[in-house]
């Protein structure tokens, strides 16, 4: 084991022909920086993919990579890392990642930095430290965490980014032919309404397909209950993020008023946030996002979720593969896991940016057992990095 000598954040931007979740709808105009707001959930998106990467190096020469969200204002996160966190990580041992995460959280907790960009920065550093620790030990992150309890992870197809319902149904049928039989629609771009969308998919995919709806926090509790009950007529797998994230009592009321399991959690950064929702029976399926929480906190929260009878179905989003690899490595070790999101429109979107080691086919992720998180950026990716 050896001490960390360098912690460096970077921004990576990748152009794309069509924005995440598909073409812009009427009234969704992008500004000069490429930002636009989806009408379905009043949330800002970007016309490109953008992510924040962190590279750590130890005195033995081991290198670890981490990643977090970079969609909006990525230099807020890189500044937190380069100005503040890096000096408190240098000199520590990568293998102490969980303790370092706690110590870094302590630095700003009484100032109210419990989430957002601060915790994103911690997540990226944490993933990089675990990766470096694994490479020093010659072990995968899954081995460092105690070993695999499964070798593959059931994957569900997330989002059907096509402009019309007919095309979305065709896209889903194409994935079904490739061996996937679980799906989630994005309510924000379900132009004909969630109920019609779920009904069309049910009729095309048959009774055995699992069909979920991401409601993108767009309803009040009464509206969410009515919408979920209407979708239940077409056998809904789960309803994700039905109401505004702050309304904890409302979430509990929704969860206890419908037959369908409620999924939530992609935006929470800590166990403190999650526990408040767990304790009021606000959800049956927890959807942690590795890019927001890092490996150390991911393990802490999912252990508590499992102990409270909540299933674990990790979230996946726009990234270059580093936080996804960390999420898959960690997921291999978790009890209570029922699958993992598969963002087919992002997964390996630009080939050759990370080394081989992750694949998703016939309804499952397959994860190699290489050291650390199992993949790393290629020279091609490194040449595209913008220093923070
Ligand atoms: Mg979601």
String of DSSP letters for 17-43:
SS-TTSSPPTT----TTSEEEETTTTE
Which of the four pLDDT bands, split at 50, 70 and 90, describes residue 44? very high
Average confidence (pLDDT) over 221-230: 98
pLDDT digits (tens, 9 = 90+) for 279-303: 999 999 999 999 999 999 999 999 9
CATH 3.20.20.120 fits domain 144-373: yes
Which of the four pLDDT bands, split at 50, 70 and 90, describes residue 69? very high
242 alpha carbon – ligand 1 mean position (Å): 10
pLDDT digits (tens, 9 = 90+) for 174-195: 999 999 999 999 998 888 999 9
Does the pLDDT at position 364 exceed 90? Answer: yes
Does the pLDDT at position 1 exceed 80? Answer: no
- Report the 3 state secondary structure along 178-211: CCCCEEEEEHHHCCCCHHHHHHHHHHHHCCCCEE
Instruction: Tell me which CATH homologous superfamily contains domain 4-138.
Output: Enolase-like, N-terminal domain (3.30.390.10)
40 alpha carbon – ligand 1 mean position (Å): 13
pLDDT digits (tens, 9 = 90+) for 124-181: 999 999 999 999 999 999 999 999 999 999 999 999 999 999 999 999 999 999 999 9
Q: Whole-prediction pTM value?
A: 0.97
Does the pLDDT at position 369 exceed 90? Answer: no
For residue 26, the model assigns a pLDDT of 87
**What are the domain boundaries of the chain?**
4-138, 144-373
80 alpha carbon – ligand 1 mean position (Å): 26
Distance, first Cα to last Cα, the chain: 28
Distance of CA 253 to the CA centre of its chain: 26
Which of the four pLDDT bands, split at 50, 70 and 90, describes residue 224? very high
Does the pLDDT at position 348 exceed 90? Answer: no
For residue 21, the model assigns a pLDDT of 81
Does the pLDDT at position 92 exceed 80? Answer: yes
79 alpha carbon – ligand 1 mean position (Å): 27
Does the pLDDT at position 321 exceed 80? Answer: yes
Q: Do domains 4-138 and 144-373 have the same CATH topology?
A: no
Does the pLDDT at position 347 exceed 90? Answer: no
63 alpha carbon – ligand 1 mean position (Å): 32
For residue 11, the model assigns a pLDDT of 97
DSSP tally for the chain: helices H, then strands E: 13, 16
96 alpha carbon – ligand 1 mean position (Å): 31
């Amino acid at each position: 084991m050896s001490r960390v000598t360098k912690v460096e954040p970077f921004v990576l931007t990748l152009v794309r022909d069509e924005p995440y979740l598909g073409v812009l709808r009427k009234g969704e105009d992008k500004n000069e920086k490429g930002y636009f707001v989806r009408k379905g959930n009043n949330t800002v998106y970007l016309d490109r993919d953008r992510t924040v990467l962190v590279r750590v190096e130890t005195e033995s020469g081991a290198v670890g990579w981490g990643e977090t969200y970079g969609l909006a204002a990525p230099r807020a996160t890189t500044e937190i890392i380069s100005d503040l966190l890096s000096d408190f990580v240098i000199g520590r041992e990568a293998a102490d990642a969980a303790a370092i995460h706690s110590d870094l959280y302590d630095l700003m907790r009484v100032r109210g930095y419990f989430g957002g960009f601060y915790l994103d920065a911690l997540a990226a550093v944490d993933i990089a430290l675990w990766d470096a620790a694994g490479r020093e030990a010659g072990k995968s992150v899954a081995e460092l965490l105690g070993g695999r309890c499964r070798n593959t992870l059931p994957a569900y197809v997330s989002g059907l980014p096509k402009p019309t319902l007919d095309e979305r149904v065709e896209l889903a049928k194409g994935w079904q032919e490739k061996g996937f039989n679980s799906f989630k629609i994005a309510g924000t771009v379900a132009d004909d309404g969630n109920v019609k969308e779920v009904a069309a998919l049910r009729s095309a995919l048959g009774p055995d397909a699992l069909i979920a709806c991401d409601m993108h926090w767009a309803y009040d509790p009464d509206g969410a209950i009515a919408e979920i009950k209407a979708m239940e007529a077409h056998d809904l797998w789960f309803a994700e993020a039905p109401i505004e994230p702050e309304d904890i009592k409302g979430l509990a009321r929704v969860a206890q008023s419908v037959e369908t399991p409620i999924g939530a959690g992609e935006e929470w950064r800590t166990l403190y946030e999650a526990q408040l929702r767990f304790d009021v029976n606000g959800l049956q399926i927890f959807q942690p996002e590795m890019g927001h929480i890092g490996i150390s906190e991911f393990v802490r929260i999912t252990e508590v979720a499992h102990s409270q009878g909540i299933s674990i179905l990790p979230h996946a989003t726009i990234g270059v593969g580093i936080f996804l690899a960390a999420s898959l490595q960690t997921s291999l070790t978790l009890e209570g896991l029922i699958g993992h999101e598969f963002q087919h429109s992002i997964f390996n979107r630009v080939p050759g940016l990370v080394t081989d080691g992750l694949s998703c086919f016939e309804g499952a992720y397959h994860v190699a057992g290489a050291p650390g998180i199992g993949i790393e950026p290629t020279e091609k990716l490194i040449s595209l990095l913008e220093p923070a």
